[in-house]
Amino acid sequence: MSLPAVPPSETTASGHLKNQFGTFGGVFTPSILTILGVIMFMRSGFVTGQAGLGSAMLILVIATSITFLTGLSISAVSTNTEIKGGGAYFLISRSLGPEFGGAIGLALFFAQALAVPFYILGFVEALAITFPAAQEHFTGIGLATIAVLFVINYVGASWAIKTQYVVLTILVLSIGAFLIGGILDFDPDVARANWASAYTEGNSFWVVFAIFFPAVTGIDAGVNMSGDLKEPERSIPRGTLAAIGVGFLVYLFNIIVSGGSTSRANLIGDPFGSLLAQAGPAAFLVTAGVFAATISSAIGSLLGAPRILQALARDDIFPGLGYFAKGTEQGDEPRRGLWLSFGMGILVLILAGAGGDALNAVAVVLTMFFLFAYGMTNAAAFIEQFSRNPSFRPRFRFFHWSTALIGGVGCLVAAFLINALAALISLILVAGIFLFISRRVLQNTFGDARRGFYYERVRANLAKLATFEKHPKNWRPTSLVLSGNPHTRETLTTYALWLGSGRGITTMVNVLEGDLYERLDERAQAREELEAYVHDNELQAYVDVVVSPSFKEGLSMLLQAQSIGPIKPNMVVSGWPSRPRDYVGFAHQLHMTHELGMSQVILVDRGLPSNPGRIDIWWRGEQNGSLMVVLAYLLSHNFLWNRARIRLITMLDPGETRDEAAAQLAALLDAARLEADYEVLPRGDFATQLPLVSADADLVMLGFRPPADEHAEAFHSAYSGFLKDLPTTMLICSTGDVDLMS
């Protein structure tokens, strides 16, 4: 076999000499050697014997389909962006962001690190079968093996790749030996006898699938070399898909010839011995092949795990990993991560003991890790294309978002069918890592596809929302808060957000008076201050700043133009001016807001309550009353107000009895499906009774109507008198678009 030369290195921006492997050496060789590894020699016959020829081929098709669809996703994402080190972690993090990338990257690191002792266990098991005397030294041989592999990898990736070329030659001869022998011994009667399933106790289709699935997970070995490739955008798709295709054909032929040339008992009881028997005089090649395949797979995993860890460390995803970011000057080799992987491998080998069940158990663990990693890779590709991001323009054309969706769902379903408990535990661990990362304030962003995905969903939902007519039943507070500098109006902004109660949309606005071009810098600074206020106080609010020759014109622009398609402000929240400079101007503001179809909440600031117990609503009819009750209801769902009682207060009308008024309020609350108290006051002077009844409340709600120009000063004077001895109060004017009975 003519082997390609190991290419030279190039100098990276950081000053390290980067390896420049090609498609064959950098992707195909490590991938195919991992695919045609320990499962091929030590467990493929077991799978065929347990599942039968028919189900074994079905297992192969399902498993390969998952990796093939994942290969398409990898090819699409890898040809759409500049690829650096980290393999699948890099692809996921640059598409779904650091949270998803970090969670899966850590799982991938552990998967690759655990794969090293897994393959070494397979090697030692094969050695013990060939030379029974080795069984007594099972653990010692495993430890010696990992030490030798560590030295090979420590010297550098180029030496590891050279070693794999030799291994590939041996592997090809070995596979040829047992396939040719199996074809010569093929017996249709044996094939018919082995066609149906015959699971032994403790085994089933999905148990056997879990044992077999690591056979097709080798594509990560090539992808993980992304930082060492000369042209990763070309090598990854070609090498990955070629390895998947070749691996599928080899396993398919092996299942067919093994199932047609070997008895079921031998396939289940001695799968490796069955291959030796198939090879006949060339059995020594099979022995050499299993040794070579398991060792090469371990080399590939030992190459990949430290590179994933190095990429995680360089992205500063997890605190404390910075130590592993450093690479060597020649080749940028992640030797610190290699030491950690070496230590983890030693620990697993010591704990695993001698082969058998240990190999199967580790296989199930690896299956879970790889299935979730593959699922997230498919999710990355799905979101990239489904969001229709203009930046997603992969050079690889044989891809559609539906293939990524099917591949991702297939990974998740397969994980739970194999072992629901193990899948659930793995999912919880990945979710926990995700939450941990998401709570960290990351300094780096990757321009990932999540924004595009959310944008596309919002765009589609807005278009759909525009087709629905407004209905009082669907009313939600979409508030425009005249916050100005929010640091001086904390009570106003806090109440505005409480009223939203997580069910509406709140936008905090600041109107600057003056010339736009002269105040552009001030506008930018004011916006930054608003955004910082929202961020620092963890508020669910948006911000906007406008510059206008006057406050009146600026407010007019906001009220008319502020919208996101069909979502327009329906409520303006502002403060009560204790001494307005222009009473008529204030009245115009109230009129303009009302005429534009927006309800109004004017907050009279008396401070924030520490332990609120009661909200008083002065009921004068449903026009303003419905909105007051709904806002009180929303406020009561805030954690600070959840024990507060709502009290409706009304004064008797002329000729009305107390019992009649009480019955009306009771019927109103019943029809509105609300729990609240009510109180009926005798007819009298409103200004006198108001402070007597509500001075000890935590919040008072009063209705108002915008005054005419000639009554503007009297309006302000009257309400200032009402409010003098009250706690924090909301003056509410409704446009009537809220129906308490909806």
pLDDT in tens, 117-157: 878 887 887 788 778 888 888 888 889 999 998 888 888 77
231 and 302: one domain?
Answer: yes
**C-alpha pair distances (Å), 524 with each of 512, 534, 557:** 11, 15, 18
For residues 403-421, give the mean pLDDT. Answer: 86
Residue 441 pLDDT: 47
For residues 398-420, give the mean pLDDT. Answer: 86
Residue 163 pLDDT: 78
434 and 476: one domain?
Answer: no
Q: Is residue 461 part of a domain?
A: no
Segment 638-684, tens digit of pLDDT: 888 888 999 999 998 888 889 998 998 888 888 777 888 999 999 88
Burial of 639 from C-beta contacts in 10 A (0-12 / 13-18 / 19+)? exposed
110 and 189: one domain?
Answer: yes
For the chain, how many structural domains are there in total?
A: 2
- Segment of 226-235, 335-344, 461-470 carrying the highest mean pLDDT: 335-344
Residue 257 pLDDT: 92
Residue 291 pLDDT: 83
- Is 354 in contact with 139 (CB distance < 8 Å)? yes
Residue 363 pLDDT: 62
425 and 478: one domain?
Answer: no
364 and 510: one domain?
Answer: no
426 and 504: one domain?
Answer: no
Mean pLDDT for all residues in the chain: 83
- Is 516 in contact with 547 (CB distance < 8 Å)? yes
Residue 95 pLDDT: 67
Q: What is the DSSP letter of 515?
A: -
**pLDDT greater at residue 487 or residue 701:** 701
**pLDDT greater at residue 11 or residue 88:** 88
Percent of the chain past pLDDT 70, that is, above it, reads 90
**pLDDT greater at residue 518 or residue 300:** 518
For residues 1-16, give the mean pLDDT. Answer: 45
360 and 498: one domain?
Answer: no
Residue 227 pLDDT: 67
CATH number for the domain harbouring residue 148:
1.20.1740.10
632 and 694: one domain?
Answer: yes
pLDDT at 685 over 70: yes
Q: Is residue 382 part of a domain?
A: no
Segment 284-298, tens digit of pLDDT: 888 888 888 778 778
Q: Is residue 190 part of a domain?
A: yes
pLDDT band at 303 (very low <50, low <70, confident <90, very high): confident
Give the start-end residues of each E strand in 162-237. none
Q: Is residue 214 part of a domain?
A: yes
pLDDT at 109 over 90: no
**Residues 673-689, buried b or exposed e (16+ Cβ, 10 A)?**
ebebebebbeeeeeeeb
Q: Is residue 295 part of a domain?
A: yes
Segment 208-256, tens digit of pLDDT: 988 888 788 778 767 767 767 888 888 888 999 999 999 999 999 999 9
CATH number for the domain harbouring residue 511:
3.40.50.12370
Q: What is the DSSP letter of 262?
A: S
For residues 200-211, give the mean pLDDT. Answer: 87
Of 391, 420, 439, the last residue of a domain is: 439
pLDDT band at 18 (very low <50, low <70, confident <90, very high): low
Nearest by Cα to 242 from 95, 48, 22: 22
Of 387, 417, 439, the last residue of a domain is: 439
357-366, 410-419, 691-700, range with the lowest pLDDT: 357-366
pLDDT band at 58 (very low <50, low <70, confident <90, very high): very high
Segment 713-728, tens digit of pLDDT: 999 999 998 998 899 9
pLDDT at 617 over 90: yes
pLDDT at 6 over 50: no
pLDDT at 392 over 80: no
Distance, in Å, from the CA atom of 381 to the CA atom of 458, rounded to the nearest integer, reads 20
Segment 554-584, tens digit of pLDDT: 888 888 888 878 888 999 999 988 777 788 8
Residue 489 pLDDT: 87
Q: Is residue 655 part of a domain?
A: yes
pTM of the model: 0.61
Q: Is residue 534 part of a domain?
A: yes
* 383 phi and psi angles, rounded to 5 deg: -65, -40
Domain carrying residue 342: 25-377+403-439
Burial of 464 from C-beta contacts in 10 A (0-12 / 13-18 / 19+)? exposed
287 and 173: one domain?
Answer: yes
Q: Is residue 16 part of a domain?
A: no
139-143, 181-185, 395-399, 495-499, range with the lowest pLDDT: 395-399
**C-alpha pair distances (Å), 276 with each of 178, 189, 284, 292:** 7, 21, 8, 15
For residues 379-384, give the mean pLDDT. Answer: 80
Please, which residues have CB within 8 angstroms of residue 710's CB and are 6 or more apart in sequence?
none
Q: How many CB atoms lie within 10 A of CB 719?
A: 18
pLDDT band at 387 (very low <50, low <70, confident <90, very high): low
229 and 146: one domain?
Answer: yes
pLDDT at 505 over 50: yes
Percent of the chain past pLDDT 90, that is, above it, reads 26
For residues 278-285, give the mean pLDDT. Answer: 85
Residue 304, both tokens: 């990949």
629 and 536: one domain?
Answer: yes
423 and 518: one domain?
Answer: no
